[in-house]
Amino acid sequence: MSKSKASGPSRYELLFIVPNNYTEEEAKTIVAKVEGVVSEQGANIVYREFWGKKKLAYIIKQNHYGYYSLCEFDSEKNVIAKIDRTLRLSQEVLRHQIVSAVVLSDAERAKIKDKQEQSAVKNEKKDEKPIKEKAARPTAVRTEKNESNKAELKDLDEKLEGILSAQDLL
């Protein structure tokens, strides 16, 4: 993302997963250990974020869950390979990834989080429509009163139109 200069430290972010066979307390000590590995190499940690236990999108080494932790640091380019190797050999880290990151202030980080949250909420509201429509269908068949049936059909039509136009837009 950012073109690294010829010399001097640049910003990196490390995301790693601690396997589920540890308790949250133990996971936190492992996180501290990993951060120790990073700072041992002369890197300056500027930001930490512990996400807690999360369901993995797919099973990794028989783990369905893992503790995610994020760590941003400034470091020289040449030590990244060392950090990467240490973490790869570690049994306490299920998976990790180091990518270069953009330098952000706390205010900017908060702003980005806020924007991401807003757009996610908007998107999830849009997604609710097809789910409601599915739920409404069996009840519409079951109801014997014509009036409620009509009302529900009207509702359905409106929702369908909404969905169709939404699909056009996407």
Partner 1 sequence: MNNKKQKDCFYCVNQLEVDYKDVRTLRRFINFYMKILPGDRTGICSWHQRKLTQAIKRARVMSLLSPTHK
Torsion of CA 156, 157, 159, 161, to 10 degrees: 160
Identify the CA nearest to 61 among candidates 17, 108, 29, 2: 17
Phi, psi of 74 (to 5 degrees): -100, 130
In the complex, minimum distance from the CB of residue 17 to partner 1, in angstroms, rounded to a whole number: 7
Phi, psi of 69 (to 5 degrees): -145, 140
56: contact with partner 1 by CB under 8 A: yes
From 20-28, 77-85, 92-100, 146-154, give the range in contact with partner 1 by CB under 8 A.
92-100
Dist. CA 18–CA 158, nearest whole Å: 47
From 34-42, 79-87, 117-125, 133-141, give the range in contact with partner 1 by CB under 8 A.
117-125
Single out the residue of 57, 107, 131, 141 in contact with partner 1 (rule: CB under 8 A).
57
Which parts of this chain interact with partner 1 (CB under 8 A)? Answer: 1, 15, 17, 56-58, 60, 66, 68, 70, 95, 97, 99, 102, 112, 115-116, 119-120, 123-124, 168-170
